[in-house]
Amino acid sequence: MALLPSLLVNFTLPVLTALQRSPLAGFLRESVFDYYAGYLHPQLTLKRVFARVLAKRQQGKNTLAITLAPSAHWLGARAGQHLPLSVEINGVRHTRYYSPCAAAGRAGELEIAVKCSEGGLVSNWLHDQLKVGDYLEIGQSAGDFGLPKPTSKLLLLAAGSGITPILAMLRSLQLDNPGCEVVLLYYGRQRNDMAYLIELKDLFSRMPRWRLQVGLTAGSATDNAFSGRFCTAHLASLAMLQNLRAWQAIACGSYGFTNTVRQVLTDAGGVAGLQMEAFTPPVFAATADQPVTLHYARAQQSLVGDGAHTLLAQAEAHGLEPASGCRMGICNTCTCKKVAGVVRDLQTGLLSAEPNESIRLCITAPVGDVTLDL
C-alpha cells in the first residue's frame, strides 16, 4: 500500500528531476533512493517510470488492452512509437516492447494491447496475473515509425497486432489532419480475432474520406471482407488507389506481411513513400550461408561467420555481449557502428557499404567480411 497520495508524488517528481541537475546530485544514489522511496509510493523514483494499471479489457479473442497511468517522469509518446515494459516473473526481469494505441502526452493515460500467444511468457503473465492497481515499469518511448508530414493520401496496412500503432496514427490523424484521405487494409484470421475492430468501424463511420477494408486469412470471408492474405488482387480492387504513386503507405505486421506489402506495392508501380515495421524477427534466405570473417574491433577478434544469421546472433555466438532488446529492429538498443564491410538490412532488403555507419545488429546480416565496433 502506498503511504503517499499519487497526486503528491506527481508534484514531487519534477522537483527530483531538477535536483539531479543541481550540485546536490552527487549525494544521490539512484538505487538507494529508489529502494527507500519505494516504501512511500511505487512511483516515487529518481528517474525510472512506473505506471499504475487503471483497467484491463478484452479486445478481440486473444488481445488484452491495458490502460496505464505513468508517473510524471514519463515524457509521452508520438503515434507509432514504442516503449519497453518490464515485469518480474519468478524473480527474473523480462522486458518487451509495445506500441501505445494512441499518442499520449506526458501527463496522459496510456493504452497498450498485448496479444496472448502460446509460450508467450510475458504476454501470458500480463493476461493472467496482472491486476488493476498493480504498478508496471515502463521506459521512455522511442522510434521513428510514424505519420509522414505533410500527407493528404494515406494507405495503411495492418495485420494482427500491427493494428496497434496504426490505430494510434488514425487517432492522431482524426485530431490533427481529418481532411486526409485514408484507406486502411486490416487483416486477421477471423473477425473475432481482430482487436479494435468495433472501435475502428465506429471511427471510420465518422470520417467520410476514410475507407476501412477488412481481410480474413482463415475461414470464409463475409460482409465484403477480402479473403486470404494481402495480394495484388486486393490492392487492384480498391478503385480509389488507382493512382497509387500519389499515396503514402505505412504497413505494420509480421515480417512475412511487411515483405509481401513491399513486393506488391513495388509490382504495382510503387507509392510516394513507404514505412514499415515488423513485429516478428526477420526470416533468412537459406542460401546465404557462405563463410565470412567478422572482425570485432574492440574485442580484437576475427572469427568466421556467415550471411545466414544476424550480426547480433553471431556476435552472441562468438561470446560477445552486445546490448539488445526487442531483437526485431524496433527499439534501437542494439545499434552499433559498422566500421567497414557490406551488410544487408533484412527488413528492407537493401545493401549498404557505407563505412562508419550505425546499424541495428538484430536485423542486419553480413554480405561479406565486416568490421564492427564491438
Our CB check for ligand FES shows the closer of 162 and 329 to be 329
Residue 334 C-beta: closest distance to ligand FES, Å: 3
Our CB check for ligand FES shows the closer of 174 and 324 to be 324
Our CB check for ligand FES shows the closer of 324 and 352 to be 324
Our CB check for ligand FES shows the closer of 180 and 346 to be 346
Residue 332 C-beta: closest distance to ligand FES, Å: 5
Our CB check for ligand FES shows the closer of 144 and 267 to be 144
**DSSP assignment of 143-208:** -S-S--SS-SEEEEEEEGGGHHHHHHHHHHHHHH-TTSEEEEEEEESSGGG-TTHHHHHHHHHT-T
Residue 366 C-beta: closest distance to ligand FES, Å: 16
Residue 330 C-beta: closest distance to ligand FES, Å: 5
CA angle, corner 58, sides to 56 and 63, nearest 5?
A: 105
* C-alpha cell belonging to residue 189: 484470421
Which one-letter amino acid corresponds to residue 178? P
Our CB check for ligand FES shows the closer of 38 and 325 to be 325
The owner of cell 495484388 is 232
Q: How far apart are CA 249 and CA 176, in angstroms?
A: 18
Residues within the interface to ligand FES (CB under 6 A): 324-327, 329-334, 360, 362
Give the 3-state DSSP-derived string for 97-132, with helices as H, strands as E and coil as C. Answer: EECCCCCECCCCCEEEEEECCCCCHHHHHHHHCCCC
* C-alpha cell belonging to residue 288: 546465404
Question: For residues 294, 297, 302 and 304, what is the CA-based torsion angle, rounded to 10 degrees?
Answer: -20
Q: Which residues contact 342 (CB under 8 A, 6 or more apart)?
A: 351, 352, 353, 366, 367, 368, 370
Our CB check for ligand FES shows the closer of 87 and 203 to be 87
Query: With b meaning 16 or more CB within 10 Å and e meaning fewer, what string describes 153-172?
Result: bbbbbbbbbbbbbbbbbbbb
Which one-letter amino acid corresponds to residue 162? G
Closest CA to 327 of 373, 301, 360, 283: 360
Beta-carbon count within 10 A of 350 CB: 9
Residue 356 C-beta: closest distance to ligand FES, Å: 19
Our CB check for ligand FES shows the closer of 184 and 326 to be 326
Residue 97 C-beta: closest distance to ligand FES, Å: 7
Residue 361 C-beta: closest distance to ligand FES, Å: 6
Residue 245 C-beta: closest distance to ligand FES, Å: 31
